[in-house]
Amino acid sequence: MAKTVWPPTSERRQLDKYAEWAAWLSGDPAELLDIYSANFSLNQGNYNFIDNDIGYNTLNVQEGLFWGKDIQGERETMLHIPVAGDIAQTSADLLFSETPDFKIPEAHEENADSDAIDEQDRLDTIIEETDVYSRLLEMAETGAALGGAYLKVNWDTDFKPYPILSVAQPDNAIPEFKWGFLQRVTFFKTIARKDSNVRYRLLEIHEKGRILNQLYKGYRNDLGQRISLDSMEQTAGMEDEILTGIDDLTCRYIPNKKPNRLWRGSDLGQSDYSGIEGIMDGIDEAWTSWLRDLRLARARIVVPDYMLQKDNNNGFYFDIDQDVFTQVNMGPASSDETPSIEPIQFDIRAEKHRMTIENLMKQAYSLAGFSPSTFGMDDSGGAITAKEVKAREGKTFKTRGKKAKYIKSALEEMLYIMLKIDAEKFGTANGKYKPQVDLKDSIQTDPLEKAESLQKLEQASAISIDTKVRELHPNWTEEQIEAEVNRIMEEKGMSVNSPTEMV
């Protein structure tokens, strides 16, 4: 039987970078050493990127990187600042620090159809019961680090009475696109190992209208032979083919941002870490150097041997509290100098290190698409308005806006698919209405500032009462808005009775 290389050769470059970015996201120095160390071999530990079946022994990385140096004996002195994790978490917070609004537009129209209202109720129940919001935070953080992430719909009528929206990692997926649209995707994971070479892999293949489950027994770089799902306890009882009942994929790829500068023409998103790996490496080197300065600069004293005493283990020590010393070793007879205590303390280059680290961090944040002030790197003090925050962090909000467009579109499709699956498998939703997602701004405008803006627009006769109410209460339903507009008009004496009521 011909050998099936796994993962496919065409995917190895991407999976290689995923492993590198995942190490930065982890914030674990051991992960970075495993990825970048120029001297490791498969016999020197377990490496996560090999555990994930990416299957490389080395990375083609830039020479001279701090984490790639051959300093195996000094690993305990190598320190790490989790800048990468900070970038990914901040990106997710900017998108989902506030819970999004999930609406069925037809359910909020005047005289809305009862089916649309029921669909909205069912959507609200699914989102609350399956914790969709937390999963979106996970998706956004993973996507920022690895350039994108997958959302897919899972269901088990014996487990939960709802379809469940779950996150799939891009470093365990092989996608197939056509003109930018996902056509097929294979999710894979190693479920068991019998020895250092044998692997049991489960492939979950998503196609339009169906999901295929396939189990393979192979080797580290060989997919091997397909075997029955009942061969392993972890897959026993799984179906080989699951018909979804809808003519669509039950998953979507959500890119972090585009275009992908690393792989031009690719449909994969760009990681926030792309191009700043060397800068993050330099930050760790400078931080390690600073702490090394502190260790070396600890105050020490050099004393003559006659001031030393012996302990119970016949070792020498110096009693710093002793007042009188008896000279027992005067040195050479011709010497007219008595050995004395000499203090030694080196300078700490604290300011130089601090400036170096701050400058590198600003470069990393900026190249990742964010304003350094977003991460607290701003010297100005005092309270500022939301408008001033947005002006100062313009780059951050532009990046956030780009990411939000990709998420909004894909998430609306996934919620629509989820309702279709709910109708097909659980018979609860009707699956006729497509949800609308509103990602809320992470910086809330001060109510007083908004009121002043609306007042100026009113004075210029450039805004209606209806629009003002909508601006102040964006989450209100049509009925609430209409009632509030009527109350305001009545209080101002602007409402007019109909002619029939006046007769």
pLDDT at 297: 67
Bridge pairing between strands 241-243 and 308-310 = unpaired
Which residue, among 321, 354, 326, has the nearest Cα to 338 in the 3D structure?
326
Q: Tell me the mean pLDDT in the region 60-69.
A: 68
254 & 303 share domain: no
131 has a pLDDT exceeding 90: yes
Domain boundary among the residues 344, 379, 412 is at 344
Cα separation values, 253 from 87, 185, 191, 242, 344, Å = 21, 9, 24, 21, 60
67 & 105 share domain: yes
39 has a pLDDT exceeding 50: no
399 & 451 share domain: no
Contact between residue 185 and residue 176 where contact means Cβ atoms under 8 Å apart: yes
Lowest mean pLDDT among 80-89, 167-176, 202-211, 305-314: 305-314
Dist. CA 470–CA 447, nearest whole Å: 14
Contact between residue 299 and residue 343 where contact means Cβ atoms under 8 Å apart: yes
231: Cα separation from own chain's centroid: 36
The better pLDDT of the pair 169, 61 is held by 169
418 & 460 share domain: no
235 & 272 share domain: yes
Dist. CA 48–CA 35, nearest whole Å: 9
Residue 315: strand, helix, or coil? coil
Model confidence band, residue 116 (pLDDT cutoffs 50, 70, 90) = very high
The better pLDDT of the pair 454, 398 is held by 398
313 & 286 share domain: no
Q: What is the pLDDT of residues 338-356, one digit of tens each?
A: 566 665 556 767 788 899 9
* Residue 258 structure tokens: 């585009």
pLDDT at 340: 63
Dist. CA 12–CA 271, nearest whole Å: 17
382 has a pLDDT exceeding 80: no
Q: What is the pLDDT of residues 465-490, one digit of tens each?
A: 888 777 777 667 777 788 888 888 88
Contact between residue 106 and residue 433 where contact means Cβ atoms under 8 Å apart: yes
316 has a pLDDT exceeding 90: no
Q: Tell me the mean pLDDT in the region 15-38.
A: 89
Write phi, then psi, for 175 (nearest 5 degrees). Answer: -90, 160
76: Cα separation from own chain's centroid: 27
Element (H, E) at 496: none
276 & 310 share domain: no
Q: Is residue 501 part of a domain?
A: no
Residue listed under structure tokens 């990681």: 271
The better pLDDT of the pair 216, 350 is held by 216
97 has a pLDDT exceeding 80: yes
Q: Which residues pair with 102 in a beta bridge?
A: 437
Check the CA dihedral 221-226-227-228 and report its sign: positive
288 & 315 share domain: no
422 has a pLDDT exceeding 70: yes
* Residue 451 structure tokens: 């009121």
Q: What is the pLDDT of residues 322-340, one digit of tens each?
A: 655 555 554 454 455 556 6
Q: Which residues pair with 308 in a beta bridge?
A: 318
Q: Is residue 330 part of a domain?
A: no
Q: Is residue 424 part of a domain?
A: yes
User: 473-487: b or e for each residue (b if 16 or more CB lie within 10 Å)?
Assistant: eeeeeeeebeebbee
Which residue, among 175, 355, 206, 366, has the nearest Cα to 283 in the 3D structure?
355
Q: Is residue 502 part of a domain?
A: no
Instruction: Classify residue 110 by its DSSP letter.
Output: T
End-to-end CA distance of the chain: 94
Bridge pairing between strands 436-438 and 101-103 = antiparallel
DSSP 412-439: HHHHHHHHHHIIIIIS-S------EEEP
Element (H, E) at 341: none
Bridge pairing between strands 148-154 and 199-207 = unpaired
435 & 466 share domain: no
Residue 406 belongs to domain spanning:
1-293+349-440
User: What is the total count of domains within the chain?
Assistant: 3
Q: Tell me the mean pLDDT in the region 443-454.
A: 59
pLDDT at 51: 44
> For residue 474, is the peptide bond before it cis, meaning its omega torsion is within 30 degrees of 0?
no
Dist. CA 269–CA 177, nearest whole Å: 13
Residue listed under structure tokens 């308005």: 385
Share of the chain above pLDDT 70, in %: 76
Q: How many CB atoms lie within 10 A of CB 268?
A: 21
Model confidence band, residue 445 (pLDDT cutoffs 50, 70, 90) = low
Q: Is residue 141 part of a domain?
A: yes
217 & 285 share domain: yes
User: 33-47: b or e for each residue (b if 16 or more CB lie within 10 Å)?
Assistant: bbbbbeebeeeeeeb
Q: Is residue 353 part of a domain?
A: yes
With 0-12 CB in 10 A as exposed, 13-18 as middle and 19+ as buried, what is 442? middle
Domain boundary among the residues 406, 421, 440 is at 440
Contact between residue 24 and residue 61 where contact means Cβ atoms under 8 Å apart: no
449 & 416 share domain: no
Dist. CA 82–CA 32, nearest whole Å: 11
Q: Is residue 225 part of a domain?
A: yes
Q: Is residue 503 part of a domain?
A: no
Domain boundary among the residues 284, 309, 344 is at 344
pLDDT at 314: 72
Q: Tell me the mean pLDDT in the region 298-302.
A: 67
Q: Percentage helix, strand, coil, to 5, in the chain?
A: 45, 15, 40
Lowest mean pLDDT among 34-38, 46-50, 381-385: 46-50
4 & 135 share domain: yes
What's the chain's average pLDDT? 82
